[in-house]
Every structure is written in C-alpha cells, then in structure tokens.
Amino acid sequence: MYLNEDTLAYLSGETFSNGAPIEWTYDDDDKRFRSRIAWLRELCAARQIVHVGCVDHDLDQALHKLKRGKWVHAELCAVARRCLGVDLNAEGIEKVRTTMGFKDVLAADLMHDPCEPLFGQSWHDLLLGEVLEHIGNPVSFLTRLHERFAHQFERIIITVPNAFAEENYRCARRGIEAINTDHRFWFTPYTLAKVALDAGWQPRRLIACRNGVVKKRSVIKNRRLSRYPLLRNNLIMIAEPTLQTKNQ
C-alpha cells in the first residue's frame, strides 16, 4: 500500500476534511496474505538492523516462541547481516544473552541512555516491532528517536495491531473488545502514517499482514484476506527520516 498525493496532503495538514475517504494505491504484493514474520524476514534480509523490544513480554514467552520458530528476534538474526537487539528489560536481556545464546543485545533506554553501539557505524533499519501501541505518547516517542537517530538509519520499520482487523468486528458484534491489556492504542494505516509524519518520519509504504501463522487449511479465510488487505490484523510501516533532517 502506497500513499497517493491526496492522502499526503491530508497527512501534512495542507488539506482538511471531517470525513475524508482515504484511498491507497495497491500493488501485487498487497494481494499476498503473509505473516508479519515472513514480511520482516524479507524486509531485513542482508541488512544491518536494530531490533527494539527484542525480549518480548517475558522470557518464558520468548522461549516458547523460539521452540516453535515464532520468536521474531531469532528469525531476524537468521537473515540480517547484523541484528542488534535492544530492550528496556535488563534482566530479560541478560537471560537472552546467557540462556538463549543471543550475544548481540543491549539493555538500554533509547530515549536517554548513551547507546554507544548505535553510533559510529551505519545501520539500515530501526525496527519497532509491536512497540508503539504500548507507548503513552507515540508522537513524542518517535520524535525523540528521530532527534537522536535520524542520521544513523536509512529507515524505520514499525509494526502495530490493525484496528480494522476482521476479528475486532466479530468481537464488537458480541459486545467484546479483545485486547492486550498493556496496549494504549489501536492504529489504522492513516493514523499510523499521521503519527509518523508528525514525528519527522516520512511514510513510504504500508503492508497489511497476519500477526500469527497463515494456516494453509483456512482456504476461505485466506482468500478473503487476500482480497481485502485492510481486514488483516497487523500493519507494517516503512518510513524514512525527513530530508530536511538528513541534510542538516
């Protein structure tokens, strides 16, 4: 999914509407109903990346996912030229290093800590995988990342839950909201792009995908979600630092 000129005008505030019908430009890739991990492996292959939030919610969950081949950090390490894992959870980082054997990790607060390993070398991607929905003020968070690291990365990759997911609609019809209780936000493609642009990151591409396994036996569901990308339950956004900042 790509932004068209009308959408860019709305995002920048050049144009305003109280009920704009936002349209996206689709290509053949948007017809591919794939998992988030599959997309991230493709996007990060042979690149130097920093994976923020690598520990997951807790080590037990990470270990369980690792055994099933579903731990994102391990999958990224398998394809990236270098994958540095960063997390606020110092205890979790230590266990990832000693128990799970992933040595290239760093316990750090990207907002305030020195983060020496991130400076002094070129990186391709700063990956925020399922992080932004946990942050109280996502614009301030992304702005701070832009201020500190815009010169260090070619682009930022953000993944978040999609508010338009068809399972949200099914739950709503039953009077239920099914949610991770630490989440502060749901995002749509437009609102995610708006938050990023407000923080200084220029959205280039959005991908709707599956947060979880795409089961081959779910033929009817897979066909439906191949046809209607906006009903998938996860979003990936690729954005770049603004040209103004990069040229300073």
- Which has the closest alpha carbon to 102: 50, 41, 54? 54
Bridge partners of residue 87, in order along the sequence = 107
Choice between 197 and 120, residue whose per-residue pLDDT is larger: 197
pLDDT given for residue 59 in this prediction = 76
Residues 6+ apart with CB under 8 A from 139: 195, 198, 199
Average pLDDT for residues 207-215, to the nearest whole number? 93
**What percent of the chain has a predicted confidence (pLDDT) above 70?**
98
The answer to whether residue 197 scores a pLDDT higher than 80 is yes
pLDDT given for residue 174 in this prediction = 96
Q: Give the pLDDT confidence of 23-53 residue by residue, as tens digits.
A: 899 999 999 999 999 999 999 999 999 999 9
pLDDT given for residue 245 in this prediction = 41
The answer to whether residue 247 scores a pLDDT higher than 60 is no
Q: Which helix (H) or strand (E) holds 207?
A: strand 201-209
- Note every long-range contact of 57-63, with CB atoms under 8 Å and residues 24 or more positions apart, other chains counting: 57/182, 58/92, 59/92, 59/95, 59/96, 59/99, 59/100, 62/92, 62/96, 62/100, 63/99, 63/100
What is the band of 248 on the pLDDT scale with cuts at 50, 70, 90?
Answer: very low
Asked if residues 34 and 229 have their Cβ atoms less than 8 Å apart, the reply is no
- Which has the closest alpha carbon to 188: 134, 231, 144? 231
Q: Give the pLDDT confidence of 72-122 residue by residue, as tens digits.
A: 999 999 999 999 999 999 999 999 999 889 999 999 999 999 999 999 788
What is the band of 64 on the pLDDT scale with cuts at 50, 70, 90?
Answer: confident
Q: Give the pLDDT confidence of 159-179 residue by residue, as tens digits.
A: 999 999 999 999 999 999 999
Domains of the chain, earliest start first: 30-246 (3.40.50.150)
The answer to whether residue 246 scores a pLDDT higher than 90 is no
pLDDT given for residue 244 in this prediction = 54
- Which has the closest alpha carbon to 202: 235, 246, 148? 246
